[in-house]
Amino acid sequence: MTTFEQMSALVDIEISLIKTVRRIKLLKRPPSNLLLETYRSFNELKAQSIKLDSYAGDCIIARIDHLLQDDEIQALLKK
């Protein structure tokens, strides 16, 4: 996977997580399988991105990590 493809995938994951978290928190909708699938995809890509020495990639990963650290989201991921 090229650097551009990794960055694009990280941005796609971030957008998906933002939408899912918004649905869960603001609209009080139960989480779908999309949350867990996105979480797994992120962890896989994050492991690959460690090889990617990029400030932009690190920033995107940090923003996604921040989204996932929310107490409500963590509780759902542990189920």
pLDDT tens, per residue, the chain with 79 residues: 777 788 888 888 888 888 888 888 887 777 678 788 888 888 888 887 666 667 777 888 888 888 888 888 888 888 6
pTM, two decimals, is 0.74
- Distance (Å, rounded) from C-alpha 60 to C-alpha 54? 10
- Distance (Å, rounded) from C-alpha 35 to C-alpha 48? 20
Question: For residue 31, with 0-12 CB atoms within 10 Å meaning exposed, 13-18 middle and 19 or more buried, which class applies?
Answer: middle
